Amino acid sequence: MFEAIIVLCLTGADGPCRDVLLPGYEASDRASCETALDRQFPDLTAFVALRVAAAPHCRPAAEALPMVAVAEGVHVHRGFVEEPDGRNRGDVANLGLVIGGASVAVIDSGSARWMGEAAWRAIRNLTDLPVSHVILTHMHPDHVFGASVFEMAGADVVGHARLPRALAERQGNYLESLGRLIGPQALLATRAPGITRTVDGEDLIDLGNRVLDLRAWPAAHTGTDLTVFDRQTGTLFAGTWCSTPTRPRSTAVCAAGRRCWRSCRRRTSSGWCPVMARRLCPGPRGPSRWRAISRRWPATRARRSRRASA
């Protein structure tokens, strides 16, 4: 497969450079890719602050992000269980995707644009369907800063109702800190995405005979937590709402688990709730293999949390 790229550099004669993917021009051969570029030249306004070292051109596709199938049409990438640094280039969060009958949804996008680009290649290796949505489970930088690739390709960027303000207030500090941790080259061309669809309460996304249930939480790991439930396979994408399939990450998450458990007891039709899920994909620090979760998890952990705080 061939893809279109542009070589961008930080301003300055000795600024680092990077090949930046231009999504949507993939083709089986170079000539078809170049024809697509000639037919519709990409919008490069997002890169005006960078120096162009080589104009858009086609080349063989670079490496895709490793993905593993955990259920029918559900694939995940597991990030390193460590802090972001120059070696892992910020690959420290778990990403997921769900393939429907008409389109694809991406759940979380990584720490930098390069991760979104690698995820895009992984999707193109799996399906030709368009990416209609990229869903951000919360505001932390290791989950949101790869989304601009999908935004550039025309996908809706979906997040909690409080996510736009949270990112606007924090993106400067987030990008500065990430630049120090993973290096300017890995962060090159990275920016915060524009949130085009917000969730306040519950919402649905139909990917074509495949429905995702979205739930915005009032307060859990952050004030912008969103969970995603795939009805077809019973897979819950929890973001950092919890960090392992059996152990909540913090007291706040334990509280969220208790609220969810009580809600399910009152209204068992709440398909998004962990007690109804058959498979849990946590945001960071996940298990070595994805596995089904216990139906008793919320209640059991809530009891242990109460005993620990007594």
Tell me the H-state helices in the chain: 30-39, 113-126, 141-144, 148-152, 163-182, 184-187, 251-266, 297-309
Instruction: Tell whether the model's pLDDT for residue 234 goes beyond 90.
Output: no
Greatest extent of the chain over all pairs of C-alpha atoms, in Å: 69
Cβ proximity of 153 and 131 under 8 Å: yes
Phi, psi of 263 (to 5 degrees): -65, -40
Q: Where are the domains of the chain?
A: 2-60, 67-265
Tens digit of each residue's pLDDT (9 = 90 or more) over 162-195: 999 999 999 999 999 999 999 999 999 999 999 9
In the chain, the DSSP E strands lie at: 2-9, 17-27, 51-60, 68-71, 74-77, 95-99, 104-107, 131-135, 156-160, 197-199, 202-206, 211-216, 226-230, 235-239, 279-282
The pLDDT of residue 264: 41
Confidence of residue 286 (pLDDT cuts 50, 70, 90): very low
The pLDDT of residue 297: 38
Give dist(CA 64, CA 245) in Å, integer.
Answer: 27
Give dist(CA 299, CA 54) in Å, integer.
Answer: 57
Contacts with 48 (C-beta within 8 Å, 6 or more apart), sequence order? none
Is it true that domain 67-265 has CATH number 3.60.15.10? yes
Phi, psi of 81 (to 5 degrees): -90, 75
The pLDDT of residue 244: 44
